[in-house]
Structure 1
Amino acid sequence: MQRVLARGEIESLDHTSIPRLRLPVRAAVFSDRAARLRQLAQDSPLAGYLSLMADLADGQHQALRHCKMPGPTEERIELAQAHGMPPLQATGWRRDPAWRALLAGLLDHMAALRGLPPQAAQAVQGLRHTLDGDPDAIEAQADAILAEREDGVDAAAAPFIMAALQVYWAGLAADFPENALPVVTPHGVCPLCGSLPVASVVRVGGSADGCRYLCCSLCAAEWHLVRVTCSHCKNTKDLSYHSIEDGPEGIKAESCDACHTYRKIFYQEKILGVDAVADDLASLTLDMLMGEAGYARASGNPLLWQQEQAAS
C-alpha cells in the first residue's frame, strides 16, 4: 500500500532524487491517450466527443511515428540556459512549415473515418480547404491557439490544429536531451516549451512514487511540482481540494484562495491508466461545480476550445 506523505515530509524530501522531468514516449503517448479516451467514453454523457478525440489521437499516434522535425540549435539551447527559459518555447520560436503537413495528414485520417459526425466532417472539410488555399490563415490560428488568445480562432477547427501542433512539439520533446535543460525555468509553465499545464498527476512507482507532476498541454512533457503548492501562483496556503460527492475516486480540483483559480489533480493510485488530457476532458462536471463556487480554470484543455478558458 502506498504511504501518503504528510505536508512536512513532502517539503523536506531531497528533491534532487526526484526526477524533475518525464519526457513523452513516442510509441505510447498518443496511443495510450486514445485508449484512455475510449475507456472514459463508455460511461460518459460526452461519449460522442470523447470517441471523436480518440480517433484523432489515433491519427496523432501514426503521425508521431514518422515525425522528425529540426530541433533547437546549440545557440538556442545556450541562450535558453543563460536566461533560464524553455528551449522549445512555443510562442517564441519559429515553427518549421512542415507542421502543416502533419495537419493535412490528420485531416485526411479523420475524413477517411466511417461514421464521422456531420459537424466534425464539415469542420475537417472546411479546415482542409483553408489549409490548401490560405496557409497563412492556418498559421495565424496556430499562433492564437499557442498564445491562448480567443480572437481569430475557429472553435470547431482549434482541436484539429492543436492536435497537429501537439505532434510537432511532442516529437521535439521526445528527442530533447534532458541534460541540456536549463537548471531553473519560470514557475507554472512547461520547462521545455513554455506552455501551461492542463492538470497534474500524482504518480506511483519508482523514484516518482507519490510525487506530483504537471502535464503539458502541448508537448506532453511532465515536470515535478511539490504537492500542496498552487500551480498557478506558487501559494502554499489556503489551498483546498474538491471532489464530486459519490463521484469517481482519484479526481480532485486543487483550488487556491490567493489567486482564485484551480487545476485538477489526478491520483494514479486510484486511476492506473490516467491521462491528464483525456481525464480532464471527461470530468467537465467538476469544472461546472468549480465555476459555481467562484473559481476560474487556470488553463484550458487543448482539445476543447472555450471562451475565457484561461485565468488572467
Structure 2
Amino acid sequence: MVQRILEAGDIESLDHSAIPRIRTPERLAVFSARAARLRQLAALSNPIAGYLRLMAALADAQQAVMTGFKAKPPSAELIASAQQHSMPLIPALSGVRDPAWHEVLIQLLDKLQAAGLLTPPLEALIAKLRTLDAATLESQADAIFAQRFAEVDPASAPFIMAALQVVWTDLAADIDKRDVPYLETLGLCPVCGSHPVASTVRIGGVHDNYRYLQCGLCATEWHMVRSKCSNCDSTKGIAYHTLGSPDADAATKEAESSKAALKAESCDECHTYRKIGYQSKDYDFDPFADDLASLTLDLLMGEEGYRRASPHPWLWPEQTDTATDPSSESD
C-alpha cells in the first residue's frame, strides 16, 4: 500500500474537526522520554555531549519531581474567559504564577546534586540559584517568557525554566482538550501562550502525516499545516535545509535531504527558521531534545542569513564566561 503525503492545500481542504488539534503531554513519560533521547543523541559524538548528559539528568529530575507534584488547575471562570477572548488557557506571561515553582526548583537542584554529575562551576551555580529570593526568581521568569535577552542570566535560565516546565506540564497533562481555545496566533501554544521549540511530522494512528508544533514550556502539541511558517503564518518562501556533504553534487545533496530526519524550515518572509523532524525517518525523534542537540544546523542557518524564531528553553543566546556556564562541563 502506497501512502500519500498530504500537502498544505490538501490538509486545509479537509474537515478540521477530523484532525486532532491538540496532543497533551503524557504525565508519566514526557520528561523520562526526553532524558532518554538526550542520552541517545549525546552518544553520537555530539559536540555538546557533556551538556546533553547534564540536561538528561535534569529531565530525569523533572520526571521524579512531577510524580509527587500537583499544580492548582485553572478555574471554570478562567477557562470561560480564555475561550471567550481566544486567549491561552493557562497563560505563562500574564497573570499571577503559582509560587509553588520556587520549591520545585529547589527539589530539582537537590536531585541534580544527588545524581553526582556536578563540576565545581556547576556547584557554584546551584549554590547561587539556592540564594535567589522570590522577587528575583519571578523577575527572571518574566524575562524568560518575554524573551528579554538582556535581562536573562543564560547560565541560570535552563534550571529556572525546568522548574516552570514541571508546573505547566503538570497542568497541561490534565486539561480537557475541548476546553483549549482557538488562538488567532497559530504559532503560539493555545494552552500557555509560549513559543514552540520545534515541530514533528508524526506517524501512526489519528496523527499520521500531520505536523505538530511542540510547546517549549508545557510540552503541549498543536496541529499546524505543513509548508506554513510557524512564526509569521506565511506560505511564501518556505524552504528546508539539512546538514550534508558540503562538496557533494546537487543529486547527492537532494538524496541526503530526502533521508534526513531533522531539517530546518526557513521562511523568506520573516527570515526565521524552526526545526522540523520526521518520525518516518527516526521514530525516536523528540522536538525538544533534537533541537537542543543540533547546534551545527543552527550555525548553518546563521551563515545563510536566518535567525531562530525563538531560543531553545535550555540554551539561551547570550553566554556567560566559563566560570559560571554549566555547558563548560567536560565530556
- What range is the shorter-chain TM-score in? over 0.9
Name whichever of 66-75 and 238-247 sits farther off. 238-247
Contact in 1 for aligned 2:216/2:288 (Cα 8 Å): yes
Shift in alpha-carbon separation, 1:115–1:72, aligned structure 2, 3 A: closer
Displacement of 1:156 after TM fit? 0.8
2:253 counterpart residue number? none
Is 1:229–2:222 an aligned residue pair? no
Measured in 2, the distance between the counterparts of 1:73 and 1:254 equals 38
2:208 counterpart residue number? 209
1:278 counterpart residue number? 289
Shift in alpha-carbon separation, 1:176–1:6, aligned structure 2, 3 A: closer
1:193 counterpart residue number? 192
Structure 1 counterpart of 2:35, which letter?
A
Displacement of 1:11 after TM fit? 3.2
Measured in 1, the distance between the counterparts of 2:8 and 2:107 equals 47
Contact in 2 for aligned 1:86/1:193 (Cα 8 Å): yes
2:302 counterpart residue number? 291
Measured in 2, the distance between the counterparts of 1:5 and 1:83 equals 32
Contact in 1 for aligned 2:242/2:263 (Cα 8 Å): yes
Displacement of 1:10 after TM fit? 3.1
1:228-281: CA deviation from partner (whole Å, max 9, x where unpaired): 001011111111111111578211111111111111111111111111110001
Is 1:127–2:126 an aligned residue pair? no
Displacement of 1:136 after TM fit? 1.4
Structure 1 residues without counterparts, runs of 5 or longer: none
1:105-160: CA deviation from partner (whole Å, max 9, x where unpaired): 00111122223122222211111122xxx221111111111211123322111100
Measured in 2, the distance between the counterparts of 1:151 and 1:237 equals 32
Shift in alpha-carbon separation, 1:244–1:109, aligned structure 2, 3 A: same
Structure 1 counterpart of 2:18, which letter?
S
Measured in 1, the distance between the counterparts of 2:100 and 2:10 equals 48
Identity value in percent = 54
Measured in 2, the distance between the counterparts of 1:107 and 1:219 equals 20
Name whichever of 11-20 and 163-172 sits farther off. 11-20
2:106 counterpart residue number? 104
Q: TM-score, normalised by structure 2?
A: 0.89
Measured in 1, the distance between the counterparts of 2:113 and 2:244 equals 40
Structure 2 counterpart of 1:298, which letter?
A
Structure 2 counterpart of 1:167, which letter?
V
Measured in 1, the distance between the counterparts of 2:218 and 2:29 equals 13
Contact in 1 for aligned 2:37/2:284 (Cα 8 Å): yes
2:279 counterpart residue number? 268
1:135-214 superposed matches below 5 A: 135-214=134-213
1:72 counterpart residue number? 74
Contact in 2 for aligned 1:173/1:192 (Cα 8 Å): yes
Measured in 2, the distance between the counterparts of 1:97 and 1:49 equals 28
Contact in 2 for aligned 1:23/1:220 (Cα 8 Å): yes
Displacement of 1:185 after TM fit? 4.3
How many residues align? The count is 305
2:241 counterpart residue number? 242
Displacement of 1:71 after TM fit? 1.3
Q: Aligned to 1:112, what secondary structure does the other structure show? A: helix
Structure 2 counterpart of 1:58, which letter?
D
Q: CA RMSD in A?
A: 1.6
